[in-house]
Amino acid sequence: MSAKPEQKAATTGRVYINPFVPNQGLKQDQIDHSARLTYEDVLHAPGVENDGEWEASCRFWITHALEETFGISRYASWKGPIPQGANWDFPFIERLPAAKTEYHALSPLHFNEGTIEGTDAIHSAIFRDQFAIPEDDARYSERLWLLYGDQKTVKLSTSVQLDREDNESDFERRKWLQPIVSIFHWAQNRLWAIQKSYTGPVNNPVTASLAHNMQYRKIKKVPLEQAPFHELKEVVFQAWEARITALLFVQLKEEGVDITNLSQVEAHLKSRQPHDVARYITSIYNTAFASQAYGNNCAAVNTNSDEPPQDEEFLLLVRFLQDVMPIKNMLYACKYGDIGWVERCYNRSIVQCLGTGGTNYAREMLFMLWLSHKGVRFNPVVRKAILAGGLVNTRGHEDSWQAIDHHGELLNLVVKTWMKEQANSSFDFRTCLSRCLPLVDWWDNWHRALEDSVNIRVNAAHSTRSRSLDNLSLGLEITAHSGALQSGGRRLTSFKLPNINQAGAKVLRAAITRFNEQMDQDLSSIHIAPRDLVADLEEGDSTLDNDDAGRPTGPEFAPGDPEDYIYVGAERDE
């Protein structure tokens, strides 16, 4: 933004009023720091095991994929009473009541949140300067404010607390601040893990790999590592639906249908009855989503037995389908404000994070399990406040919820666009940031009010391109090579068959032990030490945890009582 080649950093943020926090606010003594996690706590945590909700969600997404590909709801013969086994509705667990979330933007903070010193200065600037709560205020000794951000924001905030834990001042000790990892960056991290595990080699790729799927669809601009969220999400989810299509094609082929003739496929589906829906979906579920499918679908490898060898190519398809499920469930639950599913997806990802080398996020997921159950003494009010605080509803509709850090990322996008368009020789970084941030929320509200006053509404919605043809085409390709189980077995020679659950389960006990040891180092600490969770475990790739891809932003703080507010921090580098 200037002729000088220099780097400048600033941090922005928003505060959100959490309606589920009690009027007197959360208290520090509501967290039981003496509680510890056990191996059984993790194994039996909601969402870890394949229970009824897991099966119902799998059947929902199978039905959804068939609808996306074939439009099965158009067939009159399929519109009868929904048979047992088909699931047209998502199995919601604990939805929040639809209501607009009140939020306000902070003034720009000219500190680098990417460092411990900058994070420390940001905490002081927000609570002492912008919230105007003096350092000697008694609230710092008893209150607890929730801070949401990506894993790095949480880690740096924790480091500040550990560096200050021996300070005599309640304000300086930062025990009044509870850092919590947010949903959007969790989803981004999990998508990167899927991409890393299932892309495979680019040269001569396996049909059931993402590398093959991207080449088949001629996708050239999506990076093969740490791709942008919106691009990678479409690649992964479309590949997921194509695999479901392939599994249906296998059944239709067994019924004598020429699956290469789409007219014949459509005619055959139209002739089916409602009970056939359940049969198709149940068969797909048993083949790819049942508990035994992940590891035992094709007989264990045992060269000394008479059992056939594993069909690793088919297992690659099955494991991809199951490993993507927590991401699909999380994003859908986030859209509809279901904190029950948010909690379940967090819990299920503990083993997955460990299995993909994401040790930092595994630590945060263990902490979320500890915090939402053991740490709060199973207090439902505190648990709900913590989980609900990670969601924001800007429109007040039942399907307009979004992750708190995603809301901040959208603000970052607006601010960056404004700064790029308005920057000139006399409009430097500091001036531009200070003028843009206070106007962003005001401009959005004014724009909507003006449209309402003259009865004009600009429709910003755009049509979504149907994935039907892509699913059919890729589904046929997968069916021809990887869609059916081969009794003779097949080996993957180009890359190792991923087994995320097994890899994570091997180090789970050690990870829990390490987690508890860190908690024991300081019983008064409100968070765990930022050192490596599994330093004594097998070395994993921690690059997935370095999610520095643009974090939240926001303008001037509006007057109000800051006691019920939630803060989200974000770093900007120019």
Does residue 493 register a pLDDT over 60?
yes
Query: Do 14 and 130 form a contact (C-beta atoms < 8 A)?
Result: no
Does residue 570 register a pLDDT over 50?
no
d(CA 121, CA 144): 19
Does residue 421 register a pLDDT over 90?
no
Phi, psi dihedrals of residue 424, rounded to the nearest 5°: -150, -175
Q: pLDDT for 179-238, tens place per residue?
A: 999 999 999 999 999 999 999 888 878 888 999 999 999 998 899 888 999 999 999 999
Phi, psi dihedrals of residue 103, rounded to the nearest 5°: -145, 155
Query: Do 69 and 245 form a contact (C-beta atoms < 8 A)?
Result: yes
CA dihedral (132, 136, 142, 145) positive or negative: positive
β-bridge mates for residue 95, sequence order? 338
Does residue 556 register a pLDDT over 50?
no
Q: If DSSP codes are grouped into helix, strand and coil, which group holds residue 567?
A: strand
Angle at 435 between CA 430 and CA 439, to 5 degrees: 145
3-state SS, 504-551, equals: HHHHHHHHHHHHHHHHHCCCCCCCCCCCCCCCCCCCCCHHHHCCCCCC
Least confident of 35-39, 309-313, 355-359, 525-529: 525-529
d(CA 492, CA 489): 10
Confidence of residue 524 (pLDDT cuts 50, 70, 90): very low
Q: Look up residue 315 and give its two tokens.
A: 């297992």
Query: Do 22 and 449 form a contact (C-beta atoms < 8 A)?
Result: no
Measure CA of the first residue to CA of the last residue in the chain; give whole Å: 8
Query: Do 182 and 403 form a contact (C-beta atoms < 8 A)?
Result: yes
d(CA 80, CA 389): 41
What pLDDT is recorded for position 83? 57
d(CA 101, CA 84): 38
Within 80-150, where are the H helices? 116-124
Cα-only R_g, the chain = 25
Q: Closest Cα to residue 510, out of 394, 405, 359?
A: 359
What pLDDT is recorded for position 356? 93
Dihedral through CA 392, CA 396, CA 399, CA 404, nearest 10? -10
Q: Look up residue 60 and give its two tokens.
A: 């929902």
Q: pLDDT for 438-448, tens place per residue?
A: 777 777 777 66
pTM: 0.85
Q: Look up residue 543 and give its two tokens.
A: 């690059």
Q: pLDDT for 271-324, tens place per residue?
A: 887 788 888 999 999 999 988 888 754 333 333 444 556 788 899 999 999 999
Does residue 429 register a pLDDT over 80?
no
β-bridge mates for residue 148, sequence order? 180, 568
Query: Do 557 and 104 form a contact (C-beta atoms < 8 A)?
Result: yes
